[in-house]
Structure 1
């Protein structure tokens, strides 16, 4: 039986990658162990390529689809037929590896950790998370085999996804740090950022034998600390704009707000006294803000108009508005 099996191996004449797994990127052909017959036929299907490895070195790469005649002058090994008297066990072994040449499309990626860089507008560190998809292809099979596949009998699309995903953070962070895109610019410039990152990835993976043909950013998000800082800035900006609309500076608005909160403090006798004093001070500050040395606000109509703007901007309460309005009208 062993002799029959050995003869059967020697008669093998057609080598091809039949029905490869959808997840297979590189796979060793093992139908005939690692011995093949001289003058066998190699069939390379559409979107496939084949690598011959002899004594640990890549000796030949076939990338054109079709049928190839394998002869001893194509690859440096002797036919195992000469080993007939040694149970067909030849010391001249050849490894045959098939690989995909097609572009591997729509591979998902996402940052595994927060990418931190200095925001050029706000001048504080921000933490970014991002996700998207990419496509790639093997363009130098020999380099890919030596530098990525190595001694593995098979290498899957999922395996390379892990290799790429682990290396995405640094190029993305480097590009954001040098491109001067801040928090408010990220979403509007996704395409430009993606193109810049793809260039960096192309340089990074060039020596590994494959290239990124397409890289896209589908969405971004920022860490809680960054969002907290940004929201605080947005609130303060909105308040400053509201103060400007009613003719007050932001510092004055903050002072009035603090006095109003103190005036509302009704906890205990001391609190009541503090509230009374703060309430008086609050009224005086409103009067100063609405009148004082501001000649433009001397007209009661202008005072009332500014008072209404403060109410609409929620800088004063309805009670404050009613009391001050009555005071203005009484004075008039």
Structure 2
């Protein structure tokens, strides 16, 4: 056993700082906290309602009875010597109460000997400084927006809708929220942000190493998120809808990030929203999308609409060309209702070994007008087409 040298002034310094630490303090958020700060220290209010300033208190000691304010949308984590001791999730004002000797105060029933002399003796052994560290940090429980992502080169995914591999360069933003503050602090926040005099931990800053890591993980999950979105049979998603569906894409992105990097289960954060600001498809994907759009236009109800337009154009052309059947025949409709609209030109007798057919009877104008009227009623031709055909049949 050796002797410990008593440093001059250590005893008086220990007693003086202990007495100063008996003042009840008031802790609040800092005035300059940013909207995107996720973790930041609680700060002691400098003056006691204008009745003086406690300038001799030791740093990082919270006196029992001190008040801590927790604003709406934030939680409070308390630490003792580097370890988490508690978490407050509800807004309001709370009173500090610790069994640690350094926190005891004569103003809160600790007693003179217990709160002052015993504490000063403990501090004397540590050179006049407290033998403990008590810290409080606020955690932002709101959604934290404006987290950017982007790719420098194309990402590729298997697209069931296009029935091929698709590729694009993309950029956008996502919103995160802390869902487990204790897990978040223990696994993701660097130690220098949960120590005395720590700076604000702003997860949107690119010089923040955690921000860079999260950025890389999101970018690394984009291809899988695109694939999840477009290949979900229950949702029938298409890649052309992804920019307008921020909720659906966020769900796909959050699921992919969780699968790859366990953000929620392993780190206590999750993606709540995501927006694609721009998608630049590569040349092959653009060509595929163009072909698919054309195919869509020629299927279902659209095909019927295009068919009617084609018939109308063909009938109009037939009327202008004197009733020739070429225009209608090229459409390949095979519709009995219009099969007799135009009579074929009879073959020349004796030419090419073709026998002269019997003389065809002249078409009945009343039958023709009835057929054209039905086409008008079905929307195959318009009023102008009908009037033109009627004049031609009647020789007007």
TM-score, normalised by the number of residues in structure 1:
0.58
In the TM superposition, 1:1-332 aligns within 5 A as: 3=13, 8-11=20-23, 13-22=25-34, 23-29=36-42, 31=44, 33-73=59-99, 78-79=102-103, 81=116, 82-83=119-120, 86=124, 88-104=128-144, 106-113=145-152, 114-120=154-160, 125-153=165-193, 154-159=200-205, 161-180=211-230, 185-189=238-242, 190-191=244-245, 192-201=248-257, 204-206=262-264, 207-223=266-282, 226-227=285-286, 230=288
Q: Matched residue of 2:225: which SS?
A: helix
Residue by residue over 1:254-307, the C-alpha shift from the partner in whole angstroms, topping out at 9 and shown as x without a partner, is xxxxxxxxxxxxxxxxxxxxxxxxxxxxxxxxxxxxxxxxxxxxxxx788x79x
Question: How far apart in 1 are the matches of 2:146 and 2:140?
Answer: 15
Q: Which one has the bigger strand percentage?
A: 1
Q: Which one has the bigger helix percentage?
A: 1
Shift of 1:171: 3.2
Question: How far apart in 2 are the matches of 1:180 and 1:24?
Answer: 34
Bigger radius of gyration among the two:
2
Q: Aligned residues, how many?
A: 246
Q: Conserved in 1, the CA contact under 8 Å of 2:230 and 2:239? A: no
Relative to structure 1, the CA distance from residue 97 to residue 5 in structure 2 (aligned partners, 3 Å threshold; closer, same or farther) is same
Gaps of 5+ in 1: 238-300, 307-332
Question: How far apart in 2 are the matches of 1:158 and 1:46?
Answer: 21
Relative to structure 1, the CA distance from residue 93 to residue 220 in structure 2 (aligned partners, 3 Å threshold; closer, same or farther) is same
Residue by residue over 1:158-197, the C-alpha shift from the partner in whole angstroms, topping out at 9 and shown as x without a partner, is 2465443222234331233355559x93122452444322
TM-score, normalised by the number of residues in structure 2:
0.50
Q: Conserved in 2, the CA contact under 8 Å of 1:128 and 1:221? A: yes
RMSD: 4.3
Instruction: Decide which moves more: 34-43 or 152-161.
Output: 152-161
